[in-house]
Chains A and B, each alone.
Chain A
Amino acid sequence: MAPCRDREAFARFMPPHVLERIMSHGSARLQRCARMTLQADAQFRLRNASAPAARPADSSRPGEVARYIYTAGNQEALPGNLVREEGEPDSGDIAVDEAYRWLGATHLFYWQILQRDSIDGEGMALLGTVHYGEDYDNAFWNGAQMVFGDGDGELFNRFTVALDVVAHELTHGVIEREAGLVYADQSGALNESLADVFGALVKQHHFEQNVEEADWLIGEGLLTDRVNGLALRSMANPGSAYDDPVLGKDPQPGHMDDFVRTSSDNGGVHINSGIPNRAFYLAATGLGGFAWEKAGPVWFDALTDPRLERDGDFAQFARLTVDCAAKRFGADSEVMQVVNQAWIQVGVLS
C-alpha cells in the first residue's frame, strides 16, 4: 500500500468537510490519508484547547428545561460569566432575558410537539452566551452551546431579538446529535434548512400561528430600519427577503434549476437551503392548519431516521420525508401526496 506522503498537504489545503467526503467516497489510499489527517487535526485541537469549564447540571427530570445564560461582556471567551440560570427572575438585561425566554420556548416545542427532551434527547442543559464580541453580527452553535452577538446597530440588531434565530441555533445541536449532517454542499444546506424549518415551527408554535398567519420569514426583526429588507431569508419566496445597497440582494434559490454552485460558505449552505425551505413551506401550506401538526413531525421523523446519511443530499432527505409521511399518516394519505408534490415543485423529486 502506498504511503500517505500527502498528509501534510491534506492538513494544509483540505477543509474538514472535504476530508469527510473523501472518507466516504475516495479511494482506499485517499481515505487513509484523510483519516490520518482528521485524527491529527483532532489531536491538534486537544493539545491547543484550553481546559473546558465544567458543564452545569443537565435537567434532572424529563421534560424540564435547564437554562444557563452567560454574558461574554463584549469579549470572545466562552461561556463567559453566568448571569441567569433556571428559575431565576428577569435579569434586566434584555439580551439575557430574551435568550432565556426563547430557549425555553424552543425546549417546550421540542418536548410537547416532538417528545424530544432538549438537544440530546436526555435533558441536556441549554447554554447561551450573549454580548459576544464587539458589534458582532452573528449567532452560532459551537458544538456545546449557543452564542449571540449584539449586532452592529447599523445593519443588524441583537441576535436574540428573533425567536426563530435562537431556535435555529439550538436546532443545529439537535441535528448534530441526530443526523450529523456534514456542514458542506447539499448536506450542509439541508442542515441549514432544517435549522430554519424548526426555527420557524418554534416561532409559529409560540405565537400560535397557523400556516396562513405565519410570515415564513427567518430573522424577522434582525435587520435595522436602515436596511431595505424584511428578514434574512424567506421560506415562502426564497430570494425575496432583502434587496439592499449594502447587503446586496437575497441570493437564495427556490428551485433546483437555480441551484448555486460556489466554494464559499461551505458550498453555499446558507444559499441553497432556500430549496428545501420552500419544499417545507409548500408541504405545510398544502396541508393547512398548524404546520407543527403534520409537516413538522414528518420532517422530524426524516431527520431522526437512521437511513439519513451524514452526507445525505436533498433527494435522499426528500424520499425519506415521503416514506415517513406514509408511515405516520398512511400510504397514499393526503400528507404523503402533498409532501411528495412539494419536493416535485422545487425540482428535487420528479
Chain B
Amino acid sequence: MSHNGRFELDSTSVILVTREGGFVVTPGLAAPRRIDCRELSAHQRLRLQTVLEELDRQRGGLRSEGADRRSFRVTLQVTSGRPEREWELDESAAPRSLIGLWKHGAQGLDESDG
C-alpha cells in the first residue's frame, strides 16, 4: 500500500468501497461495493479521481472515539502494474460523494458533494 503519491485512474482501475463497524454489522452490508472504471463515463472517472485525491489529502488512521462508530475502507486495486492503495477514514470524515459511492455505486458519482 502506498499513500501521498501521484496516481491516475485508468480503464483498468477497480475501486472497492467497504463500510465497516457500527451497531449493525451484517455480511450483506459489509460486502465491498465494486466500481470498475471500464464502466464509468469520463465525467464519472474524473469525479472518482477527485474523491480519491481528497482521501489522499486526509490523514489516515484517525478514528473517532467511542463505540459502534462506522468507517470506510477504500481500496484501489492493482492496475497496470501500479501498487495497490488503501484508505481508511471515519464516517464522520467521509465526503458525501464517498457515501454516495457506497450507497449507489457509480451513480453516486453523479451526485454533488455537499
Contacts and interface: CB of A to CB of B under 8 A. Distances in A.
A207 interface: no
Contact of A140 (B26, B31, B69): B69
Dominant SS among interface residues on chain A = mixed
A51 interface: no
Interface in B21-58: 21-31
Interface in B59-107: 59-70, 73, 88, 92
A82 interface: no
B23 A232 contact: yes
Question: Which of the four size classes fits the interface of chain B?
Answer: 20 to 34
A265 B67 CA distance: 11
Contacts of B92: 76
Given A15-B63, A76-B92, A232 B68 contact: no
Dominant SS among interface residues on chain B = loop
Interface stretch (A6-14, A112-120, A312-320): A6-14
Contacts of B1: 13
Quick one: which of A13, A17, A140 has the most chain B CB within 10 A? A140
Contacts, number: 107
Contact of A191 (B4, B23, B67, B69): B67
A271 interface: yes
Given A11-B59, A232-B24, A139 B68 contact: yes
A16 B66 CA distance: 12
B69 A142 contact: yes
A183 B67 contact: yes
Given A76-B92, A191-B67, A264-B18, A44 B62 contact: yes
A141 B4 CA distance: 32
B62 A265 contact: no
